């Protein structure tokens, strides 16, 4: 008891010391330059909170080591997956789902898709990619530019954007993937920044910091979602005899990303059971052993990198068509970090884990948009806390891709 | 004498100024077990790493006589040596895919064949019969080696969760699933108890008898070396100091010196 | 020629600052094999703390400039050191045996927290400080381009050299330095031989953070404007410097820092200022592809 108290007092003191310069004194712009304003009450609050929190942690016995999932949970997974998919399909028609909810769900789905794409690279192949956003950007700009320069429709651009992103991934991957683990992280981060700086500065092509606006919105088999459809097209509302509503497009976009995301998921589930997928995982486990079995690590890594990039490209063109406007600001390193965090927090390789992590990291903070300032703080805090709580990620259980007697 | 499978000629591998392998020549035969022995630091594992392409030797040739022709291993990449020349290996510190199942370990070993059958996985993605048949064949091959290494009932367990002796056998099974012509085993008996060690001897003799491939073996356990090898090559400080049948080598004064030290320093060595 | 000389001076100044930050990265990587992603934000905190400390000393305490600067220096080092210690203790130590990516994610989380903490606590507007140390020498009095060396630049050099010397002394001569080198080579063995590894790791973070804090102080004084975002880019560049010099190598970190500073200065001067970051990262990629161990790093033979 006295030990807990002493320990908590120490923690409180440290917190007070840490808070003293940064929180206790505020730099204020004034007519004569900077001046200082003391806010020592905040320091006291910080110290008190840390002291109290620490004391609580010390006094309350540790939680029973995390919901240990029942042994049969592995078999429940497909069921859980189907339930989630069914819920996702029904979501727009549920009573509480207004335009705002569907819009936010769309955003979460973008991150789920990006997470599933990056999962191929990081979770399965074990390549730490900190520049994934570069491929997302290539997809978005590919669509925007192709559609604006050549008047191609979204449906033509989508595969093109995927192909361009994938080729870009292969091109970058070639020099990078021979490096050792941590170096791959740094180089991909550098490449991600290079792409962003180029987007920022290549005025003639990318519009520089102003980005590209007025990007064509997608249509459903030629049915436009505009109030007044362009010449030669009919509108969705007209065709189905509905009154025009802006919600139609929101719901259409939601289903579009849902289909894209589910396609990514199906692809991953399938390829995990194929030679390439198994080679990815084997490579993550032990590259030298892979080489001794005749597996060429470079081509296997490249395939993971390229396929991951392709899905990022798809997601990127969706992002561009949803926003109607893109600029380099949407493709900062922070985005890469968020996507990586989703994959790692989800449990490296677990598809459902990624959904949970995306809901937690992207969905939850979205509800607190009013507290914009504190959102990122909470986001960073969640990253640290989840890692401390479950270093292997939320769902780290792995099912074999094949069983001796019959399929898994 | 059986025709040679592997010819190592004047092989030299230096690390900085240190000669790990120095002007080494020997041959290993088809259908034979060739043991490489020597004191610690004699260059045995380095030799293995040169043969399997993980190190590139500075001098010398390593030739494998393959039905497709003589292959210069020193010019191939490690994965190409495994794939094209059919050289498989195990590692001194076991290298399995620990989080994958035992069966998956054996399926990954058949990667090359499955990739070809699945047209780089495309056929598999589309669910074509052609791939399903190839996969079934791969599972059968895996089952065969699981049976022979007595690991069948662990097939769906995580490889990393197996006991040590089982992991050693799994590594051999995995290497055999690549259908090699030459199997290189780096201290397969290390850490095994006498019973497991005897089982290992039997397994290796069976492989030699049934598969007709060459086995190259690094080993410290003299009961294994003397019990099963057809020929023994003795290294010391990277050089070959003796070669012959187990009986010949055992009586060789140079070998005794290398293991026990010079007579005048026998007390310290 | 004059222009070149001036860029050389500017580049070396900038490089010295990068080098100081890079030392923290390279030390932590050497011992824990981990990229301490939050290190750049420590530097940012250092910049803020030094600014606050300096203003507190001059406007509130009424201290003369020199004294105020010294006070700011010590306060910055002390507070950033405490930040470094706390971060390691709270966010990294529990993860020392966790899967490889866990500490990295935790570190990214910490850097997001600190960056937004700074933005919340001090506002997002850039904070200007009028030049504190003015004047300098004109080295070459050419008509078209005078080459000058400011007092500020001299101070940056002198402080960097002093810190480097003290640091080298600590690593090579003190028992802490020996323990640190032993831990770097083999943490398990060091622990078996009775070295308190936890203490060594803590000390590493404390020293690295204090050095980054000094870099923050120098940037505040040299550029006279800071914001909550400066840590990110400087952090990446300093890490680039550490890798360029050979990660784990202390002289390498300094050399890498100087090179990055020079590349940035010359690229901005002769090519385009917009693409200076591209040049830096481009160099990083090239170095890693062609010489993965960096300039002064030891080549390592793959253990099989």
Q: What does each of the 304 residues of chain C score in pLDDT, given as a tens digit?
A: 788 888 899 999 999 999 999 999 998 888 888 888 899 999 999 999 999 999 888 888 888 888 999 999 999 999 999 999 999 999 999 998 888 778 888 998 999 899 989 988 888 888 888 888 787 788 777 777 788 888 889 989 999 999 988 888 888 888 888 898 888 888 888 888 888 999 999 999 999 999 999 999 999 999 888 888 888 888 888 988 998 888 888 889 999 999 999 999 999 888 888 888 888 888 887 887 788 788 887 766 666 6
Q: Are residues B69 and B193 in the same domain?
A: yes
d(CA A346, CA C252): 37
Same domain, B82 and B184: yes
Tell me the average pLDDT across A193-208: 87
Query: For the residues of B190-212, what is the DSSP string, one character each?
Result: TT--HHHHHHHHHHHHHHHHHH-
Which residues from C are below 8 Å from B when comparing CB atoms?
A: 301-302, 304
The answer to whether A282 faces chain B, any CB pair under 8 Å, is yes
| The pLDDT value given to residue B1 | 47
Q: Are C78 and C222 in contact (CB under 8 A)?
A: no
Give the nearest chain A residue to B178 (CA atoms).
Answer: A293
Q: Name residues of chain B where pLDDT drops below 70.
A: 1-3, 120, 262-269
Cα B163 to chain center, whole Å? Answer: 21
CB atoms within 10 A of CB B133: 11
- Can you give the residue ranges of every domain in chain C? 2-290
The beta strands (E) that lie in chain B are given as 4-15, 18-29, 33-37, 59-66, 69-72, 87-89, 182-186, 214-218, 231-236, 239-244
A178–chain B Cβ distance below 8 A for any pair? no
Number of domains present in the structure of chain B: 2
| Across A273-279, average pLDDT | 92
Tokens matching residue A331: 């493709």
Cα torsion at B229, B232, B235, B239 (round to 10°)?
-140
**Contact check, Cβ <8 Å, A25/C56:** yes
Chains near A, with 3+ CB pairs < 8 A?
B, C
| Helix residue ranges per DSSP H, chain C | 2-32, 39-55, 65-87, 101-122, 151-173, 175-185, 187-192, 197-223, 230-245, 250-270, 276-290
Residue B48 lies in a domain: yes
Q: What is the pLDDT of residue A101?
A: 86
| pLDDT class of A369 with cuts at 50, 70, 90 | low
B185 and B138: one domain? no
Residue B171 lies in a domain: yes
Nearest CA in chain C to B14: C301
Question: B178 and A294: CB-CB below 8 Å?
Answer: yes
**What topology does CATH give the domain C2-290?**
ABC transporter involved in vitamin B12 uptake, BtuC (1.10.3470)
Is A173 at the interface with chain B, CB within 8 A?
Answer: no
Grade residue A65 by pLDDT with cuts at 50, 70 and 90: low
Residue with tokens 């399909």, as numbered in its chain: A89
B82 located within any domain: yes
Query: Which contacts qualify for B120-127: CB closer than 8 Å, 24 or more apart?
Result: B120/A276, B121/A271, B121/A274, B121/A275, B121/A276, B121/A277, B124/A270, B124/A273, B124/A274, B124/A275, B125/A267, B125/A270, B125/A271, B125/A274
Q: Which of C40, C114, C281, C286 to mutate to probe the A interface, most A CBs <10 Å?
A: C281
Are residues B131 and B208 located together in one domain of the fold? no
B37 belongs to a structural domain: yes
Residue C258: the pLDDT is 93
CB contact under 8 A, B49 and C304: yes
Examine residue B205 and state whether it is found in any structural domain, yes or no: yes
Q: Which of residues 8-37 of B touch C (CB under 8 A)?
A: 15
In this structure, the answer to whether residues B108 and B224 fall within a common structural domain is no
Q: Is C53 on the interface with A (CB under 8 A)?
A: yes
Of residues B108 and A225, which shows the higher confidence score?
B108
Contact present, A58 and A12 (Cβ < 8 Å): no
Q: Are A222 and A232 in contact (CB under 8 A)?
A: no
As a whole number of Å, the end-to-end CA separation of chain B is 38
Residues B73 and B185 in one domain: yes
C-alpha A33/C-alpha C57 separation (Å) is 16
C187's CB contacts (< 8 A; 6+ apart) are C31, C197
Helices C230-245 and C276-290 sit at what angle, rounded to 10 degrees? 30
**Cβ contacts (< 8 Å) between C302 and chain B: which residues?**
54
Whether residue B60 lies inside any domain: the answer is: yes
Euclidean distance between CA atoms C221 and C55, whole angstroms: 12
Q: How far apart (Å, rounded) are the C-alpha atoms in residues C115 and C235?
A: 12
CA angle B177, B182, B188 (to 5 degrees): 75
Q: CB-based burial of residue C260 (10 Å sphere; 0-12 exposed, 13-18 middle, 19+ buried)?
A: buried
CB contact under 8 A, C304 and B15: no
Residues on chain C touching B15 (C-beta within 8 angstroms): 301
A280, with CB counted inside 10 A (0-12, 13-18, 19+), is buried
Please check whether residues B127 and B229 belong to one and the same domain: no
Please write the tens of the pLDDT for every residue from A139-194. 999 999 998 888 888 888 899 999 999 999 999 888 888 777 777 887 888 888 88
- Domain end among B154, B179, B204: B179
Are B61 and B72 a contacting pair, CB within 8 Å?
yes
Q: How far apart are CA C48 and CA C153, in angstroms?
A: 20
Q: Say whether pLDDT at A85 is over 90.
A: no
Among A271, A288, A402, whose Cβ lies nearest the Cβ of B95? A288
pLDDT band at residue A371 under the 50/70/90 scheme: low
Among B155, B179, B203, where does a domain finish? B179
C179's CB contacts (< 8 A; 6+ apart) are C190, C195, C196, C199, C200
d(CA B74, CA B90): 19
State the nearest Cα–Cα gap between A408 and chain B, in angstroms. 10
Helix (H, G, I), strand (E, B) or coil at C144: coil
Q: Would the pLDDT of A71 be above 50?
A: no
Residues 6+ away with beta carbon under 8 Å from A341: A357, A361, A383, C105, C108, C109
Over residues A1-19, the mean pLDDT reads 85
Q: Is C181 on the interface with A (CB under 8 A)?
A: no
Specify the pLDDT at position A74.
52
C-chain CB neighbours of A186 within 8 Å are 35, 239-240, 243, 284, 288
Over residues A232-249, the pLDDT tens digits come to: 777 777 777 777 777 788
pLDDT at res. A280: 94
Nearest CA-CA distance, residue B49 and chain C, Å = 8
**Rounded CA separation B140/B133 (Å):** 11
Last residue of a domain, one of B150, B179, B208: B179
Q: How confident is the model at residue A23 (pLDDT cuts 50, 70, 90)?
A: confident
List the one residue out of B55, B99, C304 whose CA is nearest residue A283. Answer: B99
Angle at C142 between CA C138 and CA C148, to 5 degrees: 25
What is the span of the domain harbouring residue B136?
96-179
Distant-in-sequence, close-in-space partners of A289: CB < 8 Å, separation ≥ 6: A282, B91, B95, B96, B97
- Catalogue the long-range contacts made by A10-13 (C-beta closer than 8 Å, 24 or more residues apart): A11/A50, A11/A51, A11/A54, A12/A47, A12/A48, A12/A50, A12/A51, A12/A54, A13/A47
Shortest distance between the Cα of B123 and any Cα of chain C, in A, equals 34
- B73-110 pLDDT, tens per residue? 888 999 999 999 999 999 999 999 999 999 999 999 99
DSSP tag of B158: B
Are residues B74 and B192 located together in one domain of the fold?
yes
Q: What is the pLDDT of residue B161?
A: 92
Q: Chain A within 8 Å of C35 (Cβ-Cβ)?
A: yes
* A145 torsion bin: left (phi>0), alpha (psi -120 to 50), beta (else): alpha
Residue C105 forms contact with A (CB below 8 Å): yes
Task: Quote the tokens at residue C54.
Answer: 């300096």
């Amino acid at each position: 008891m006295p030990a807990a108290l002493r320990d908590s007092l120490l923690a409180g003191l440290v917190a007070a010391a840490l808070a003293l310069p940064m929180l206790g004194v505020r730099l204020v712009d004034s007519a004569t330059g900077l001046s200082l304003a003391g806010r020592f009450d905040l320091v006291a609050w910080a110290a008190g909170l840390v002291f109290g929190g620490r004391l609580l942690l010390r006094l309350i016995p540790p939680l029973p080591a995390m919901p240990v999932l029942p042994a049969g949970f592995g078999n429940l997974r497909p069921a859980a997956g189907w339930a989630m998919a069914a819920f996702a399909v029904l979501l727009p028609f549920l009573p509480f789902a207004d335009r705002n909810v569907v819009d936010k769900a769309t955003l979460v789905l973008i991150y789920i898709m990006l997470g599933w794409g990056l999962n191929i690279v990081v979770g399965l192949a074990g390549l730490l990619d900190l520049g994934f956003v570069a491929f997302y950007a290539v997809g978005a700009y590919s669509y925007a530019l192709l559609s604006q320069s050549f008047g191609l429709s979204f449906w033509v651009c989508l595969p093109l954007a995927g192909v361009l992103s994938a080729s870009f991934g292969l091109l970058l991957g070639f020099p990078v993937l021979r490096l050792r683990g941590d170096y791959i992280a740094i180089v991909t981060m550098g490449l991600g920044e290079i792409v962003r700086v180029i987007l920022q500065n290549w005025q003639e092509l990318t519009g520089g910091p102003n980005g590209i606006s007025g990007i064509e919105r997608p249509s459903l088999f030629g049915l436009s979602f505009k109030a007044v459809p362009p010449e030669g097209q009919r509108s969705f509302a007209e065709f189905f005899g509905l009154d025009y509503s802006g919600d139609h497009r929101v719901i259409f976009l939601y289903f579009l990303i849902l289909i894209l995301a589910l396609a990514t998921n199906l692809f991953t589930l399938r390829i995990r059971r194929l030679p390439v997928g198994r080679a990815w995982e084997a490579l993550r486990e032990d590259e030298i052993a892979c080489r001794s079995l005749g597996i060429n690590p470079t081509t296997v890594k490249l395939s993971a990198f390229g396929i991951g990039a392709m899905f990022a490209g798809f997601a990127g063109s969706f992002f561009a068509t949803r926003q109607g406007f893109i600029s380099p600001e949407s493709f900062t390193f922070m985005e890469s970090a968020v996507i990586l965090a989703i994959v790692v927090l989800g449990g490296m390789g677990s598809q459902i884990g990624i959904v949970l992590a995306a809901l937690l990291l992207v969905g939850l903070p979205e509800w607190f948009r009013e507290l914009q300032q504190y959102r990122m703080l909470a986001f960073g805090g969640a990253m640290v806390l989840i890692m401390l709580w479950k270093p292997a990620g939320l769902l780290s259980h792995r099912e074999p891709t094949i069983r001796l007697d019959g399929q898994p | 004498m059986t025709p040679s499978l592997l010819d190592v000629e004047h092989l030299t591998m230096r690390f900085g100024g240190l000669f790990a392998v120095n002007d080494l020549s020997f041959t290993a035969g088809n259908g034979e077990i060739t043991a490489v022995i020597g004191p610690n630091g004699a260059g045995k594992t380095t030799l293995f790493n040169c043969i399997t392409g993980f190190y590139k030797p500075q001098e010398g040739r390593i030739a494998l006589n393959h039905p497709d022709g003589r292959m210069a291993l020193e010019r191939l990449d490690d994965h190409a040596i495994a794939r094209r020349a059919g050289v498989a290996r195990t590692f001194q510190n076991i290298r399995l895919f620990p989080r994958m199942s035992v069966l998956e370990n054996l399926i990954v070993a058949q990667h090359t064949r499955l990739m070809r059958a699945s047209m780089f996985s495309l056929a598999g993605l589309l669910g074509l019969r052609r791939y399903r048949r190839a996969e079934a064949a791969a599972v059968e091959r895996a089952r065969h080696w699981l049976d022979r290494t007595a690991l069948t009932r662990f097939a769906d367990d995580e490889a990393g969760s197996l006991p040590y002796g089982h992991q050693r056998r799994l590594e051999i099974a995995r290497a055999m699933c690549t259908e090699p012509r030459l199997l290189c085993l780096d201290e397969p008996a290390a850490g095994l108890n006498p019973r497991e060690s005897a089982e290992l001897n039997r397994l290796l003799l069976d492989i030699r008898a049934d598969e007709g491939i060459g086995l190259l073996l690094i080993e410290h356990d003299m009961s294994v070396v003397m019990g099963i090898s057809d020929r023994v090559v003795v290294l010391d400080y990277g050089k070959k100091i003796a070669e012959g049948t187990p009986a010949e080598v055992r009586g060789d004064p140079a070998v005794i010196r290398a293991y026990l030290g010079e007579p005048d320093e026998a007390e310290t060595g | 020629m004059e222009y070149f000389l001036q860029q050389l001076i500017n580049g070396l100044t900038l490089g010295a600052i990068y080098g100081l930050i890079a030392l923290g990265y390279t030390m932590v990587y050497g011992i824990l094999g981990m990229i301490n992603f939050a290190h750049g934000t420590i530097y940012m905190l250092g910049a803020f703390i030094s600014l606050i400390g300096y203003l507190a000393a001059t406007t509130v305490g009424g201290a003369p400039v020199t004294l105020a600067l010294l006070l700011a220096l010590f306060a910055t080092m002390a507070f950033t050191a405490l930040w470094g210690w706390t971060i390691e203790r709270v966010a990294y130590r529990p993860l020392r045996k966790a899967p490889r990516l866990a500490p990295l994610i935790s570190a990214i989380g910490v850097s997001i927290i600190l960056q937004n903490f700074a933005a919340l606590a001090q506002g997002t507007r850039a904070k200007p400080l009028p030049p504190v140390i003015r004047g300098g020498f004109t080295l070459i009095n050419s008509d078209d381009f005078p080459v000058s060396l400011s007092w500020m630049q001299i101070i940056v050099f002198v402080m960097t050299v002093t810190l480097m010397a003290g640091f080298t002394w600590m690593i090579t001569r003190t028992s802490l330095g020996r323990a640190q080198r032993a831990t770097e080579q083999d943490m398990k063995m060091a622990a078996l031989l009775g070295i308190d590894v936890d203490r060594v790791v803590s000390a590493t973070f404390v020293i690295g953070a204090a050095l980054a804090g000094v870099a923050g102080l120098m940037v505040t004084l040299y550029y006279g404007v800071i914001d909550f975002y400066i840590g990110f880019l400087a952090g990446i560049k300093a890490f680039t410097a550490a890798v360029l010099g050979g990660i784990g190598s202390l002289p390498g970190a300094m050399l890498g820092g100087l090179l990055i500073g020079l590349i940035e200065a010359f690229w901005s001067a002769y090519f385009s200022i917009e693409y200076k970051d591209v040049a830096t990262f481009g160099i990083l990629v090239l170095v890693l592809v062609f010489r993965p161990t960096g300039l002064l790093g030891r080549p390592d033979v793959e253990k099989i």
